[in-house]
Copies of this chain bind each other. A is one copy, B any other.
Amino acid sequence: MNNNKMIYVIDDEKDICQMVSLELEQFGYSVRSFTTGAQACHAIRTRPPALCIIDLGLPDMDGMELVKQLCDKHSVGVMILSGRNSVPDKVLGLELGADDYIVKPFIPRELVARVNSLLRRLENSGPDPKTETRTAQFANLRYDPKTLTLITGDGKQSELSSAEHVLLIRLLKAPKTILSRDQLMGETTGPFDRSIDVRMSRVRKKIEQDPKNPEIIKTIYGVGYILTTDVSWTP
């Protein structure tokens, strides 16, 4: 069982969070728990998960409101976990956009089965939320991820290969932050690998004015790389 999908559990009762996490992790999922809506919101924006399991009775915000927000962005799956077994509540939650509504107390194994079912359905559905479609502007360059096209300040165009694209996107998503080689590689390829250096060299050759003295992407000796400029995204 090598799912590896990210699931967020949002419930103010720590017991529930723990129980759900343990069960899901046994089936190969990566789980993070949150006990307040605010924390969850922030995390969802930063690293959107494949699925959110939400308790309606949160201390700091209306659970329904959170559900609605999530469902409007249409890509992340939403399961409601509630102590209230009333039909109007269920109907409201589901019509608001939730994909399932489970009443407490529930059987952990059934929850897992429903999670599996939903993720299976989500898999071949909707645009991939990870694919960035806005254009990035940085250091008198413009990069359009839709077409993998880079436009320099003086109008020259060049195309990035898909591996170069992934690397550049990771940097653009975390400007002015040191990223280790592992972080830049993601889940691909083995532990000892110098290929990242070569990739970086190829990216630099396309984005730097003088690739021998890189300004935009600096090397942090012994640690990783950093994108030194600000980035603004235009739709």
Chain A positions within 8 Å of B, measured between CB atoms, are: 74, 87, 90-91, 94-95, 97-100, 107, 109-110, 112-114, 116-118, 120-122, 124-128, 131, 133, 146-148, 159, 161-163, 174-178, 183, 213, 215, 218-223, 226, 228-229
Q: Is the CB of A121 within 8 A of B94?
A: no
| A126-B174, A133-B176 known, 4 other contacts, Cβ within 8 Å | A90-B110, A97-B117, A100-B100, A146-B229
Q: Is the CB of B94 within 8 A of A114?
A: yes
Residues of B within 8 A of A133 (CB): 176
| Smallest CB separation, A48 vs chain B (Å) | 14
Q: Is the CB of A94 within 8 A of B117?
A: yes
CA distance A72 to B90 in the complex (A): 29
* Contact pick for A95, options B116, B178, B223, CB 8 Å: B116
Q: Is the CB of B74 within 8 A of A94?
A: no
Residues of B within 8 A of A125 (CB): 121-122, 124-126, 174
Q: Is the CB of A223 within 8 A of B162?
A: yes
| Smallest CB separation, A52 vs chain B (Å) | 14
Closest to A218 in B: B148
Q: Is the CB of B177 within 8 A of A127?
A: yes
Q: Is the CB of A124 within 8 A of B87?
A: no
* Contact pick for A99, options B87, B121, B176, CB 8 Å: B121
CA distance A125 to B91 in the complex (A): 23
Closest to A125 in B: B125
* Contact pick for A94, options B113, B162, B221, CB 8 Å: B113
Q: Is the CB of A122 within 8 A of B124?
A: no
Q: Is the CB of B90 within 8 A of A113?
A: yes
Residues of B within 8 A of A148 (CB): 218
Closest to A123 in B: B125
CA distance A59 to B74 in the complex (A): 40
Residues of B within 8 A of A222 (CB): 162
